[in-house]
A and B are shown apart, each in its own frame.
Chain A
């Protein structure tokens, strides 16, 4: 009755071993043409910040050079140069401006990459072309990921140069402002961490895009996840990359970062953090200025507590671990990025349409 051909019980499916995939370089123009606006945005953003770093940094380095070259150190003129350097506080000093760069790149380069294709339905065009969907995705992710990582890496090289005076070893003896290299915000933008954070934010954005499939929700999610990850890492995770060193007392050497403090008595931990109000009140009210008469308190309250058998402990991360921490952070962020990008490609390949 019809021309329907007889069907075998099982359809034999040929595999495509005889056909070579299209060369990867075909994606270069495609990626550039489709993503040139966000790419130009990335270059403009990092370029503007780099220019700020360069211009303001030259003044900063000039002031620093004057301060350390001044002789004799305790002369009035030298005190003035030191005060001048210490007084330089500008919009770059706290580094917060750089903290927003990776999430922004993740949100505006990573998130729309696939979300826009889903939202506009253009994935049906793109994924039915001869290049193949997962190779198309991989090519875009790798090309854009490398560009944003290189751009932010360049920026962090400049930032490392900019902040270098604040980390020099002789600063304290000259009363020059010193920053702790392990402090959050400053840690992220030096060394390898900044490029790794940018890549991770890009990967978070790309995955959010393929999961959520809507541009604006994907952008919001990317910003939220990147923010949460940055705070969790800076506030807690980073201080546990290596086992903290422990010292007796409440003072730590050099520019170390304190992880925790506690007091013990008779081998038992009695309080965490610095000595608390009730402890002072119970054992050393007079020395802590908590006596009946009030007033400024007499003598050293800590010494008094020590006489009552208390021992103070501090665990800390020494500043000398800066590079170890940089590689650890760069390493896990790179691993996370590769994992998220791989999941993104896998989701595309799985054809969950």
Chain B
């Protein structure tokens, strides 16, 4: 089952294309990270997935074929929006009560145990909690609904390193112990290596890369060789060139079995390095499936 499946999905705000011809199929059971620079369309995609926005073109279905925003979709998706909005004048206990009233399932015991564990006083107003506690409260509300999919929009962007670590630990526990699928957008590349096993990279409103982390790492290598010869390498498979005076480092799409040119060395690539390379090359794409990617005219890819 695909927790999210899109087909030629597009979203425009006036004349601005926030999302363009987006094809995705994220299978169940992953912690999927959505990575891209500001304005790449990450929030737009997440808003579409939870039904807060409607697509301008194309199709989107969630949880194995439900319309985003339909009752079963709302029922099965827990969403923590950017900056974790809560009603500031309501106490933590009131937020639990509110969420329980607004949902079919709500695990009150779990939520209360989580708050106790986190040291969040139930009587304290949400607006008086620290940033980390607010994020944890919002996450607790989402998880107590026992969702099949947890969607997090920049959940740790505003948090200090400890709060960030604790937050991600909660997410990982939910994913591994309860089998919740997770889709999270993030700027923080360092976190991803630890939590994500599925990566989606976006730039300029398009999907650049989508796939399981292990497959992506196996499908890319860093080649190191003389800078003078860098231009001779088949440019269609080169994602990014990092050149020194003598030595150039090329991130290329190739597997460990592919032959390495004479005078060059091949190394495996890390997730952060891979993500950085794609972030630096907004025009590059490595998309499998029905989407034309590296077979397409290079000029079209960079448009």
Given A13-B61, A128-B77, also A5-B2 (CB < 8 A): yes
* Pairwise interchain contact A15-B67, C-beta atoms closer than 8 A: yes
How many chain-B residues does the 8 Å CB contact rule pick out? Answer: 59
* Contacts from A to B (Cβ < 8 Å): 1-7, 9-16, 18-19, 21-22, 26-27, 29-30, 33-34, 120-133, 136, 350-351, 353
Which residue of the partner chain A has the closest CB to B198? A3
* Pairwise interchain contact B67-A3, C-beta atoms closer than 8 A: no
* Pairwise interchain contact A2-B104, C-beta atoms closer than 8 A: no
Nearest-neighbour CB distance to chain B for A227, whole angstroms, equals 30
Query: Does B121 reach chain A (CB closer than 8 Å)?
Result: no
Given A13-B66, A353-B47, also A2-B85 (CB < 8 A): no
Query: Pick the contact of B101 from A26, A121, A133 — CB < 8 Å?
Result: A26
User: Which residues from chain A contact B2 at a C-beta distance below 8 Å?
Assistant: 5
Which residue of the partner chain A has the closest CB to B106? A130
* Pairwise interchain contact A10-B59, C-beta atoms closer than 8 A: yes
Query: Pick the contact of A128 from B27, B51, B288 — CB < 8 Å?
Result: B51
B259-303 at interface with A (beta carbon < 8 Å): 288-290
Given A124-B82, A130-B102, output 11 extra A-B contacts at Cβ < 8 Å: A2-B210, A3-B212, A4-B211, A5-B2, A7-B289, A34-B98, A123-B52, A124-B85, A125-B86, A129-B99, A132-B71
Binding site secondary structure of chain A: loop
User: Which residues from chain B contact A11 at a C-beta distance below 8 Å?
Assistant: 5-7, 59-61, 65
B69-88 at interface with A (beta carbon < 8 Å): 69-75, 77, 79, 81-83, 85-88
* Pairwise interchain contact A6-B289, C-beta atoms closer than 8 A: yes
User: Which residues from chain B contact A21 at a C-beta distance below 8 Å?
Assistant: 71
**13 residue pairs A–B, Cβ–Cβ below 8 Å:** A7-B7, A13-B67, A15-B70, A16-B72, A18-B72, A19-B71, A124-B82, A125-B138, A128-B52, A128-B74, A128-B79, A128-B81, A350-B54
Which residue of the partner chain A has the closest CB to B215? A2
The distance in angstroms between the C-alpha atoms of A29 and B145, with both chains bound, is 18
* Pairwise interchain contact B215-A3, C-beta atoms closer than 8 A: yes
User: Which residues from chain A contact B120 at a C-beta distance below 8 Å?
Assistant: none
* Pairwise interchain contact B53-A351, C-beta atoms closer than 8 A: yes
User: Which residues from chain B contact A121 at a C-beta distance below 8 Å?
Assistant: 81-83, 85
Which residue of the partner chain A has the closest CB to B127? A120
Given A124-B85, A128-B52, also A26-B67 (CB < 8 A): no
Q: Which 5 residue pairs of A and B lie closest in terms of their CB atoms, listed nearest first?
A: A2-B211, A124-B81, A129-B102, A130-B103, A121-B85
* Pairwise interchain contact A14-B289, C-beta atoms closer than 8 A: no
User: Which residues from chain B contact A22 at a C-beta distance below 8 Å?
Assistant: 102-104
B84-131 at interface with A (beta carbon < 8 Å): 85-88, 90, 94, 97-99, 101-105
Query: Pick the contact of B52 from A122, A124, A131, A132 — CB < 8 Å?
Result: A124
